[in-house]
Structure 1
Amino acid sequence: MSSQIPMTRAGYERLQEELKHLIRVERPRVVDAIAEARSHGDLSENAEYEAAKDRQAFIEGRIQELNDKIARAQVIDPAQIDSDKIVFGATVTLFDTETEVEVTYQIVGEDEADIKEGKISVTSPVGKALIGHRVDDEVQIRVPSGVKVYEITDIRYE
């Protein structure tokens, strides 16, 4: 039996939009590309045909993957969470005790993680280390460059 995949409403909607785009736009486009490549004759030496078939296989695989993730999605609305601890969906502000720099991350599902947007996966080393902690806790997190020590200065659910 498959396990549920936690994600925010925004992450769930992004997956649905990608699925719609693949089904409505990309799938018909690749079918047309295959038909066009077939019209050029000999398929054994037809690079366009091979590329289109590869693209089709990728699209169909991604459609299956998205359908599976959407079916197993456990949508969590951070605004509905009332906790003083860090749990999935929390937006956490951390103070790096070494560099004295403050950073803010939202803890999200794997498919939503994007460090440029300040979103880290609940399954990442940082995400795992933060879960269950409270404001003013000091957290040691093992990162590739060693151990970072952060003080939790704020937890929000929005």
Structure 2
Amino acid sequence: IEQYIRNSIKSKERLYRFINDIIKTNNIHKVLEISEELWPDFDEFMSKYLFEFTPLVEEQYIEFLHKNNKNEIADNIIKKSLNDIYLFPDLFLAICKNKLKNLWGGTKDIPVSRLIEKSIELYEYTSIEVLNEQDRDIKQIYQKLLQKTRDIIRADDFKNYRTAVREIKESKRLKLLLNQISKIENMPIELQSMLRAIITDQYPDIESTKYEESESFYTLANSYDKMMKQYKYIISVEIPKNSENIYEAASMGDLSENAEYRSAKDKQKLLASSLNTIRYELDRAIVIDLKDVNGDIVSFGTVVELKDRINKRIVVYKILGPWETDIQNNIISYKSEIGKELEGKKKGDTIQFRNDSYLIISIKKLEKI
């Protein structure tokens, strides 16, 4: 390994190959240690060019820095990543994972709220990219990023998200966060409702100005049934279980210092808020039978094929409602931005969406999802 490193540091081209090759070894940290011993400018080089390498190298190098108490170098890299999460999303998610699990000591000064707010921002960005990207390989990359971001937000029953909401406190920031969550058109309704409920439960006076609560919406029967099952599950399983947890925790005595009791009571409030949200959604939902859909115009229950007038690429969207939205499978809501542009259009019509022009080349009724 030493000889390989000695040969590698003779030219920058070899250095690039070397850094990318180290991920093939069984002991990346050992290679990094030897590199640092043999090459005095190794940290300077890595700090400058780290973002050109793979996410695994990025994460392993920061771990190496923390292990060797080089927190200042690590912090500078982390700050650079946080300032532009769109360029370095994988490293940002690695920072979130390690910070939220207290694995990286050098990230102690980064508030949980900042990571969560950035995660919501990244979720919105990647969900749009998944929807718009036509290249299959790039689309898969965005899909993986979206899943990782969702996992960060949902981790430990939304523990970190709750912590972030408590940290923020400022009414203006909370309202901005609530509005941002409400306008993410491609976020699953269950996740969106939960994130909203956690904020409004802790701060009842905070209201979203962009959430169209008064509007009804279309959905399919199986989606309605799924949401109803979730509603009944909360009533019949989660609430009784939570009541037992409260009783057991209360029996331990001294409620003022009883973490289990406080946690159970917080869960009780969250369940009540979620129940109200789902009930409200169920009351607004209008079930549509696909057999009744008119396939001559773009509407709920249709499949539309578009052609990008510039690069000639073809994209196919299934138009359904908020509950059916699945951007990874090109199922979009008729209430989404592009859904509203398409609604009511016919074959041969052209739409403008985010500086791109699309020709509608076919419309047909959706037989099944």
TM-score range, shorter chain: 0.7 to 0.9
Match of 1:43 among 251, 255, 260: 255
Structure 1: which amino acid aligns with 2:320? V
Aligned with 1:112: secondary structure?
A: coil
- Distance between the aligned counterparts of 1:136 and 1:67, measured in 2? 41
Aligned with 1:12: secondary structure?
A: helix
- Distance between the aligned counterparts of 2:314 and 2:259, measured in 1? 52
Residues 15-49 of structure 1, C-alpha deviations (whole Å, 9 max, x = no match): 11211221122112211221221122111111211
1:153 aligns with 2:365: no
Which structure 1 residue ranges, 5 or more long, are not aligned?
Answer: none
Residues 68-90 of structure 1, C-alpha deviations (whole Å, 9 max, x = no match): 22223211122221241101222
- Distance between the aligned counterparts of 2:289 and 2:225, measured in 1? 12
1:17 aligns with 2:229: yes
Match of 1:94 among 306, 317, 322: 306
Residues 120-141 of structure 1, C-alpha deviations (whole Å, 9 max, x = no match): 1222111000001112322111
Q: Which has the higher contact order (CA 8 A, sep 6+)?
A: 1
- Distance between the aligned counterparts of 2:236 and 2:305, measured in 1? 40
When you count helix as a share of all residues, which structure comes out higher?
2
- Distance between the aligned counterparts of 1:106 and 1:84, measured in 2? 14
The TM-score with structure 2 as length reference comes to 0.39
1:30 aligns with 2:238: no
**Partner of residue 132, structure 2:** none
Q: Does the aligned pair in 1 maintain the 2:297–2:346 contact within 8 Å?
A: yes
The TM-score with structure 1 as length reference comes to 0.84
Structure 1: which amino acid aligns with 2:240? P
Cα deviation for residue 116 of structure 1 reads 1.8
When you count strand as a share of all residues, which structure comes out higher?
1
- Distance between the aligned counterparts of 1:33 and 1:101, measured in 2? 55
1:124 aligns with 2:124: no
- Distance between the aligned counterparts of 1:151 and 1:99, measured in 2? 12
- Distance between the aligned counterparts of 1:8 and 1:67, measured in 2? 17
Residues 59-112 of structure 1, C-alpha deviations (whole Å, 9 max, x = no match): 111111222222232111222212411012222222333444333222222233
Identity within the alignment, % = 37
Given the superposition, is the C-alpha separation of residues 103 and 21 from structure 1 closer, same or farther in structure 2, using an over 3 Å criterion?
farther
Bigger Rg, which one: 2
Q: Does the aligned pair in 1 maintain the 2:293–2:300 contact within 8 Å?
A: no
Q: Does the aligned pair in 1 maintain the 2:295–2:364 contact within 8 Å?
A: no
Which structure 2 residue ranges, 5 or more long, are not aligned?
Answer: 1-213
- Distance between the aligned counterparts of 2:345 and 2:297, measured in 1? 5
Given the superposition, is the C-alpha separation of residues 117 and 33 from structure 1 closer, same or farther in structure 2, using an over 3 Å criterion?
farther
1:115 aligns with 2:360: no
Q: Does the aligned pair in 1 maintain the 2:318–2:331 contact within 8 Å?
A: yes
